[in-house]
Amino acid sequence: MPELRIRTYPDPILREKCLPVEEIDDRVRDLAAGMAEAMHRAPGVGLAAPQVGESIRLIVVDLSVGQDPAQLHVLVNPEVEVLDGEQFESEEGCLSLPEVLEKVQRFKRVRVRALNLKGKEIVLDAQDRLGRVLQHEIEHLDGKLILDHLNRVKRELVKRRLKKRAKMTPVPPSPASR
């Protein structure tokens, strides 16, 4: 698979509600591997399929940023359930919103149900940083961004800054066209 490019705001795919993965085949497995490579290269700790131009319900998360292969989670059709209504605020960034760090409220404890790449159901009970990253990436699958957590004035300021940056930053050609 060619090297994947991370899409940035205001790319419209970032606002799409993603479709469930119907079949976990070689295409989905290759996409997950490419997503993990792109996430580590960025570097980042999570990436959702729409961030690389695929509108399907697939995320990868690795808090070790590639240092510990055991920490890589590939989740197909993930669903989040809140285990504790208590929320906490912390600063978040996003690979699709370069140079943006904003305080976001997230639930303290969540349970995520998903399929792994073998089609087996997995359940992750997560809190703290892992819980935060899972919530962030799963929101991407519903077309939501951290911008949606900001008040209207702050959101508009950040959007303007991102659009200006997008106009000034040329899009590199995809590796397939080189």
Task: List C-alpha distances in Å: 23 to 2, 55, 57.
Answer: 21, 14, 12
Q: Which residue has the tokens 């490019």?
A: 5
The token pair at 72 is 């890589």
Displacement of CA 73 from its chain's centroid (Å): 12
Task: List C-alpha distances in Å: 172 to 4, 5, 43, 58, 162.
Answer: 11, 9, 18, 24, 17
Task: Note if 3 is an active site residue.
Answer: no
Give which of 136, 138, 134 is closest to 125, Cα–Cα.
Answer: 134
Considering the candidates 3, 23, 37, 137, report the single residue annotated as catalytic: 137
b/e per residue, 81-99, with b = 16+ CB within 10 A?
eeeeeeeeeeebbbbbbee
Residue type, 71: Q
Query: CB–CB of 40/62 below 8 Å?
Result: yes
Give which of 159, 157, 153 is closest to 96, Cα–Cα.
Answer: 159
Give the active site residues.
137
